[in-house]
Structure 1
Amino acid sequence: MTVTHRRARPPMDACTLEELLDTLGDPMLRVLTAPAGLTTPVSEVLLYDAGAPFPRSAPGALLLTVGARAGEVGPLAGDAAEAGMAGLVVRDRDGQPDTVAAAKAHGLALLAVDEDAAWHHVHLLLASAIGSRPGPEGSGAAFGDLFALANAVATAVGGATVIEDVRQRILAYSTVPGQVVDEARRQGILGRQVPSSPENTEQYRVLFAAPGPVRLAALDGDELPRLAVAIRAGGETLGSVWVVDDGHVGPDAEGALTQGASTAALLLLRARASEELSRHLTSDLLRRLLDGTADPAGAEHRLGLAAGTPVRVAAFALDGAVSAPDGEQTALRLLDLVRLQCEARYGRHACVLVDGSVYALLPVAGAGVAPAHGGTPARAKPRVGEEPRAWGSGGERHKRLAEDIARRAGKALRVPVRAGLGDVVPDLAAVRGSRDDADLVLRVLGPDEDVAAVTEIRARVTLLRLRELIGEERALTAGAWREVLAYDTEHGTDYARTLVCWLDAGCDMARAAKLLAVHPNTCRYRLRQAQQHLGIDLDDPDERLVLWLQLRTLGGLRGSDRA
């Protein structure tokens, strides 16, 4: 086992078990016992390796019991306590009474993770949660540290420095006084992006193919040469470090640059882990908002929304009529595609995969800003179910976004993707209702429809809900509609469909006959026969309404050919 940055004792500002649980929480992490209390400081997270020496000292560490067999976890508690660790992390199945008792006896916390959780994912989330807590001086995040690193490299190497990611976006740059810069560096910093050109492309090809630092000639007479090195970790290229070479770089410039790239790799990996943790937390929060178990207070800030922003839920799903080769993996790819498109438009964004559907929270842009006609301030929020017309084409933009995502995802996954948009709701407290709307839209979309908003197909959604509600009540399922269907089955008549077409046509005989493709006299005759044989009073508007509603919802009949 390799232990890095081991401390003699946890610092006073270390993350505590309580803060760790607040950050990750159930179901990711559960406390089985904490004899020293939840204020126990946690300094780091370690992976247990049965083939490596157990650490002598690891104060405040959490030990993930990777690969420990049944019955081995309990004995590990003694070694962990001797090393000064804060606790052990086990899978649910390993949290047996004897394990809990052993942890209590040694004063160790015992935490459990889900049975199916991957240990490397657990390690990443725990390490990120512990490392992301700001220190007492308000130490910055990884990207803030990159600016400090750029200054350190510039000082050590002797030239103005920039740090880029693999897409040539400038993440940080040095600000050491007196160092020479050229116009290419100025323009890159202003745009935070290296300008694209065939010459630049060739230099990056040479840089990323080289095993170490390379010296690159100036691209034109107004630029200076560069000394650059790729940033790598475990064979993966993460970015690059570039230094302006005005002829005054130090003799050990390449060594200093290599060391700087190694540190940059650690910072970029930490930033990636922090980003993954942030995505996990926002996804978990959205999941709980959608099922109504999260407290909406403060959730807007955590999701990156302005206070009082109206939102709507968009639901995306693979077309159930088409089987995907690997449904679960395809759904995860759909999640990535939806998140990518939403983040491109809204920045940090919450998306989550629940029961095969991908849900995205779409903010209504400009809420409470646009004035109504005549200069009077517009109402700050819409009522539930109301499209915010005073705010422009927010609904239309959401529809276009959903259509674009469905089209792109369907093409990439080679499986049709459908999308439903729920109602706009005034705040996160009502977001569950918008999710229910989006789910209903997916259920009622016709075979030739890929995307729809609930406001566009409200009638179909309402009939679906009525059918479900009526079907739950015995008194509401009784009525003449059953007798009509039974009579048709027994005598080979077509009274049920004739009644539905006539009622769908607003009791217009000519229109009903057209729907049935028969002569109006035939339609009139069938209606008279139905009344005579079944005792239906078609002159009673209440009876007509109930009969039509039951035949449409419970019988599944409709006058048009549209499904």
Structure 2
Amino acid sequence: MSSGPADGPPGDLTALAATVAALTGGRVTVQDDAGRTLVGPALTPAPDVRRRLRTGEEIVTTDDLHAIGVAEGGRPLGSIWVRTRPGADVAETLLGAARLAVPRFVDLYHRGDPAARAATREDLAHSLLTGRLNPASIAAHLGVDPDAAASVVAVDLRDPPNRPGREVRRAEAAEIVSVHAAALRGDALVTHACGQIYAMLPEKNTDPERTLSAWADRLVTALRAYTRTPVQAAVGGLAPDLSAIPEVKLRAHQILKIIAPDPARTVATHTSVRAGVVLLDVLDLLAQRPDVRHPALDDLAVHDREHGTELARSLRLYLDAFGDVGKAARALHVHPNTLRHRVRRAAELTGLDLDDPDERLVAMLQLRLLNTDPTGPAFPVPAPHRPSRRSIRT
């Protein structure tokens, strides 16, 4: 191993410094263990401050300057400094940054390629999240216990598809998630999947939901301020071991789908939307069985498309409101009498008996499957069902 870091600016540390600056609003300096400045404006700290930083993870504050040491196994690697307003709360950000900086300093001292190492670690984390490779072999590479429990938290930036710079913004957001996750769990893993960002957090707590919900809320607040988008997070729950992570990841993904129509909501947990998750599973099963349908309801949706009416959507909201005409009418922005007319018309055209609880339940499920309400939950939308020969006539 060489005696010092390689020449030239270390890209991974530069990116990390930019993230810390974004989170704290300060000017960031990264130094190696010899006090040489690697990133940011040069500093000449007092000798006693440098000695305190060599132990790692102690935050030293003097006036408007905050610093933390970076160390691995008792060996000092460097330090991270932030100059910001006096009294600023930067402890969590600095702690997470120091933990993330360890492998980046190690790569630097070995004169390796930091980008290649980071990509490999992220690829392994992605394989763990999606179940592409054996969890035990991935755990060995990552230094994680394969039998350890882990929580999964999913983050969606809710970035408009046509907004320029989405990929760059997501990469920057992933770095922010990584800093927050490392501050919470030193061995946290963060990766991308399905257009979202996922944090896997090893757990000793058997019921971490409340802690993670509060943590995710702070994370979303930071991301919303940075991205200017209605970021949302889902606490998917606890995987009892690493092999169960893909299942919990899917649950977190479902939770994000459920809360998507409510941008004011920052965080949801599996417990808070359990009924919605069950309903999604039921609708997924129904979507796989197109032969299990009430044909008249499919015909009703076809009628709406052909005639520009909203009978199916009106019926759905009426049933969702448990027959409360006033509530459903307000959701549709129509007069209650208009809604009553639409519901009667839908019943006439389909032959549904809305006094029959079984027919009401079937109608509620199938109308959700057809996604007749564009403002409702983003439930799965199957391929349009072909109308039967018995087309509805007006």
TM tier relative to shorter chain: 0.5 to 0.7
Contact 2:156 2:231 in 1 (8 A): yes
TM value normalised by structure 1: 0.44
Contact 1:488 1:496 in 2 (8 A): yes
Cα distance between partner residues in 1 of 2:298 and 2:107: 67
Instruction: Tell me the residue number matched to 2:153.
Output: 314
Instruction: Tell me the residue number matched to 1:343.
Output: 182
Cα distance between partner residues in 1 of 2:205 and 2:273: 26
Cα distance between partner residues in 2 of 1:415 and 1:543: 41
| 1:473 and 2:279 correspond | no
Instruction: Tell me the residue number matched to 2:269.
Output: 453
Cα distance between partner residues in 1 of 2:304 and 2:55: 77
- Within 5 Å, give how 1:16-27 maps onto structure 2: none
Instruction: For residue 310 of structure 1, report the CA deviation from its aligned partner.
Output: 2.3
| 1:442 and 2:281 correspond | no
Instruction: Tell me the residue number matched to 1:516.
Output: 329
Q: The residue matched to 2:364 in structure 1 has which SS?
A: helix
| 1:352 and 2:187 correspond | no
Contact 2:230 2:264 in 1 (8 A): no
Contact 1:188 1:195 in 2 (8 A): yes
- Within 5 Å, give how 1:397-416 maps onto structure 2: 397-416=211-230
Contact 1:485 1:496 in 2 (8 A): yes
Cα distance between partner residues in 2 of 1:194 and 1:333: 25
What is the aligned-residue identity percentage? 29
Contact 1:471 1:477 in 2 (8 A): no
Cα distance between partner residues in 2 of 1:456 and 1:442: 12
Contact 1:313 1:431 in 2 (8 A): yes
The structure-2 alpha-carbon separation of the partners of 1:505 and 1:271, relative to structure 1 and needing over 3 Å to count, comes to same
Structure of larger gyration radius: 1
Where structure 2 has 5 or more consecutive residues not aligned to the other structure, the ranges are 3-9, 12-31, 39-46, 68-76, 81-104, 379-394
The structure-2 alpha-carbon separation of the partners of 1:312 and 1:428, relative to structure 1 and needing over 3 Å to count, comes to same
The structure-2 alpha-carbon separation of the partners of 1:421 and 1:185, relative to structure 1 and needing over 3 Å to count, comes to closer
1:536 equivalent among 347, 352, 362: 352
Cα distance between partner residues in 2 of 1:190 and 1:522: 72
Contact 1:480 1:547 in 2 (8 A): no
The structure-2 alpha-carbon separation of the partners of 1:464 and 1:366, relative to structure 1 and needing over 3 Å to count, comes to closer
Cα distance between partner residues in 1 of 2:138 and 2:211: 24
Q: The residue matched to 1:361 in structure 2 has which SS?
A: strand
Matched residues, number = 304
Instruction: For residue 307 of structure 1, report the CA deviation from its aligned partner.
Output: 6.3
Q: The residue matched to 1:293 in structure 2 has which SS?
A: coil
TM value normalised by structure 2: 0.60
The structure-2 alpha-carbon separation of the partners of 1:529 and 1:478, relative to structure 1 and needing over 3 Å to count, comes to closer
Deviation string 1:477-526 (CA, Å, 9 cap, x unpaired) is 452212334556678876535533443244xx5x2344226898887776
Where structure 1 has 5 or more consecutive residues not aligned to the other structure, the ranges are 6-119, 122-145, 147-161, 168-181, 205-236, 241-265, 368-387, 389-393
Instruction: For residue 456 of structure 1, report the CA deviation from its aligned partner.
Output: 1.9
Instruction: For residue 398 of structure 1, report the CA deviation from its aligned partner.
Output: 1.1
Q: What is the RMSD of the two structures over their aligned residues, measured on CA atoms?
A: 4.6
Cα distance between partner residues in 2 of 1:492 and 1:195: 66
The structure-2 alpha-carbon separation of the partners of 1:458 and 1:487, relative to structure 1 and needing over 3 Å to count, comes to same
Instruction: Tell me the residue number matched to 1:249.
Output: none
Instruction: For residue 295 of structure 1, report the CA deviation from its aligned partner.
Output: 1.5
